[in-house]
């Protein structure tokens, strides 16, 4: 359900991984049919009746204009229509529950990151309330291995203890998903081919930046891993330092298929089965370009290359929905010169990132 072509739900776990989990668990054909049913809808969740928490959401969106405002719902391992409010901003008692605590704290860190560094007022820059639902499942009997942004709010599954930890376990994943919301309100990269890979890459870049900023980790000390707490052992979903090495010979997932260089660019059809033209594969290339630039600069990435990427993401004249890698490279080099000066170390580092990945 996560990679619908026209109105994607932005899921953290790519289809090339969730399909393997479903195969392994032998998800009954009936439920796979349900999956197809959902996939053929314009959007699985948009097709459901609007639930109570969405009404609350609209009210919350009205009341929150200048401050951080969060609400958390518990879907109790069902679809969101079952969810009930368990915490809202200002409520002193926080439920003794790891998922609830993770998403309250995580969304708070994401909000503060954007506010303090970029004076951004929440996802839409107009004070949008941050609504999150934990313990979500599409179907009550089927474990849900994902977290996603649906255009209005966040949903998190708990996964399955043998294979994953809860999808609230990584701050970079919470930041990745909320950044998809910001992208929707800014450059709105079309979710296909190179622009779709840039959509995914910007979400990873700000995912790792929020983690580094929160933990005060310098670029050269970061693990540059996305989703390192969700998967068991040393595995992560993606590696920005070395795309293609986040997992190797894994009994469930096999080998990480992400390329790090244009020479390995993955050509896939622009279909659901083709990951909309490989958006979760080829994001490895711009991810790696960002990593190279940030490590070349040293210091804190949120003070060097991060502002360049934020300036690009929020310049709707320079970056458009069909912007490709080469065009983004040109925009970020120009932004580096504007922010840090022509011939600056930042400008050189950004150019080096794009050159070393074969984009320019």
Q: Which positions are annotated as active-site residues?
A: 177, 280
Of 109, 103, 97, the closest CA to residue 132 belongs to 103
163 torsion bin: left (phi>0), alpha (psi -120 to 50), beta (else): alpha
Q: Is 312 in the site for Zn ion (CB under 5 A)?
A: no
The token duo for 228 is: 């390192």
Of 201-209, 212-220, 223-231, 301-309, which part binds Zn ion (CB under 5 A)? 201-209
Smallest distance from the beta carbon of 283 to Zn ion, in angstroms? 8
> CB of residue 60 vs Zn ion: minimum separation in angstroms?
24
What tokens were used for 179?
A: 């950044």
Q: Does 4 bind Zn ion (CB under 5 A)?
A: no
Query: One symbol per residue from 181 to 200: x for binding Zn ion (CB under 5 A), - otherwise; what is it?
Result: -------------------x
Q: What number of chain residues touch Zn ion (CB under 5 A)?
A: 3
What gap in Å lies between CA 339 and CA 301, rounded to an integer?
A: 14
Q: For the CB of residue 35, give the shortest distance to Zn ion in the complex, in Å.
A: 19
DSSP 8-class letter at 343 = T
User: Closest approach of Cβ 148 to Zn ion, in Å?
Assistant: 8
Question: Among residues 182 and 349, whose Cβ is nearest to Zn ion?
Answer: 182
Only segment of 23-31, 88-96, 202-210, 287-295 that touches Zn ion (CB under 5 A): 202-210
Nearer to Zn ion, 175 or 203 (CB): 203
Q: Are 285 and 265 in contact (CB under 8 A)?
A: yes
Place of tokens 């490590």: 295
Measured from the CB atom, the residue of 10 and 137 that comes closer to Zn ion is 10
Task: Report the run of H or E that residue 129 belongs to, with start and end.
Answer: none
If one asks whether residue 10 binds Zn ion (CB under 5 A), the answer comes out as: yes
**Exactly one of 203, 208, 313, 350 binds Zn ion (CB under 5 A); which one?**
203
Q: Quick one: 202 or 340, whose CB is closer to Zn ion?
A: 202
> How many whole angstroms separate alpha carbon 319 and alpha carbon 178?
20
Within 10 angstroms of residue 34's Cβ, the number of other Cβ atoms is 17
- Cβ 180 to Zn ion shortest distance, Å: 6
Q: How far is residue 230's CA from residue 145's CA, in Å, rounded to a whole number?
A: 10
Residue span binding Zn ion (CB under 5 A) among the ranges 2-10, 41-49, 86-94, 317-325: 2-10
Which residues, at least 6 apart from 355, have a Cβ–Cβ distance to it below 8 Å?
A: none
CA distances from 108 to 89, 111, 161, 329 (A): 10, 5, 27, 31
Q: Are 41 and 2 in contact (CB under 8 A)?
A: no
| Residue bearing tokens 């600056």 | 344
Strands (E), the chain: 10-11, 70-78, 84-88, 130-136, 147-149, 154-156, 225-226, 238-239
Q: Which is nearer to Zn ion, 71 or 200 (CB)?
A: 200
Q: Which is nearer to Zn ion, 137 or 280 (CB)?
A: 280
Binding region for Zn ion (CB under 5 A) out of 9-17, 246-254, 282-290, 338-346: 9-17
The residues near 295 (Cβ < 8 Å, ≥ 6 apart) are 219, 220, 241
**Which CB sits closer to Zn ion, 4 or 10?**
10
Do β-strands 147-149 and 10-11 pair in parallel, antiparallel, or remain unpaired? antiparallel
Interface with Zn ion in residues 279-308 (CB under 5 A)? none
Site string for Zn ion, 143-182 (x = CB under 5 A): ----------------------------------------
Report, in Å, the least distance between residue 12 CB and Zn ion.
6
Stretch near Zn ion under the rule CB under 5 A, chosen from 4-12, 55-63, 111-119, 241-249 = 4-12
Which parts of this chain interact with Zn ion (CB under 5 A)? 10, 200, 203
């Amino acid at each position: 359900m996560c990679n619908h072509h026209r109105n994607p739900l932005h899921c953290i776990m790519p289809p090339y991984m969730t399909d393997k989990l479903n195969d392994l668990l032998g998800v009954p054909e009936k439920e796979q049919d349900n999956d197809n049913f959902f996939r053929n809808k314009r959007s699985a969740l948009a097709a459901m009746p609007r639930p109570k928490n969405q009404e609350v959401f609209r009210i919350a969106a009205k009341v929150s204009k200048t401050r951080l405002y969060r609400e958390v719902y518990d879907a109790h391992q069902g679809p969101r229509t079952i969810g009930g409010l368990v915490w809202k901003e200002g409520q002193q008692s926080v439920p003794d529950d790891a998922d609830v605590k993770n998403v309250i704290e995580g969304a708070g860190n994401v909000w503060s990151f954007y506010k303090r560094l970029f004076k951004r007022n929440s996802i839409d820059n107009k004070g949008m309330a941050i609504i999150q639902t934990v313990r979500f499942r599409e179907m009550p009997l089927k474990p849900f291995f994902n977290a996603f942004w649906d255009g209005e709010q966040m949903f998190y599954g708990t996964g399955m203890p043998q294979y994953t930890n809860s999808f609230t376990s990584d701050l970079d994943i919470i930041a990745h998903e909320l950044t998809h919301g910001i992208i929707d309100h800014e450059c709105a990269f079309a979710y296909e081919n190179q622009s779709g890979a840039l959509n995914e890459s910007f979400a990873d870049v700000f995912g790792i930046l929020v983690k580094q900023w929160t933990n005060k980790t310098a670029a050269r000390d970061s693990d540059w891993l996305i989703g390192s707490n969700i998967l068991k052992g040393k595995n992560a979903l993606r590696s920005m330092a070395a795309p293609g090495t986040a997992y190797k010979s894994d009994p469930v997932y096999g080998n990480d298929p992400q390329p790090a260089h244009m020479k390995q660019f993955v050509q896939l059809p622009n279909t659901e089965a083709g990951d909309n033209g490989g958006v979760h594969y080829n994001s490895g290339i711009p991810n790696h370009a960002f990593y190279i630039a940030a490590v070349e600069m040293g210091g804190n990435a949120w003070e060097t290359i991060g502002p360049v990427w934020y300036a690009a993401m929020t310049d709707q004249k320079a970056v458009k929905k069909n912007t490709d890698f080469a065009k983004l490279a040109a925009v970020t080099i120009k932004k580096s010169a504007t922010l840090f000066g022509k011939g600056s170390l930042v400008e050189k580092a950004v150019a080096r990132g794009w050159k070393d990945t074969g984009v320019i």
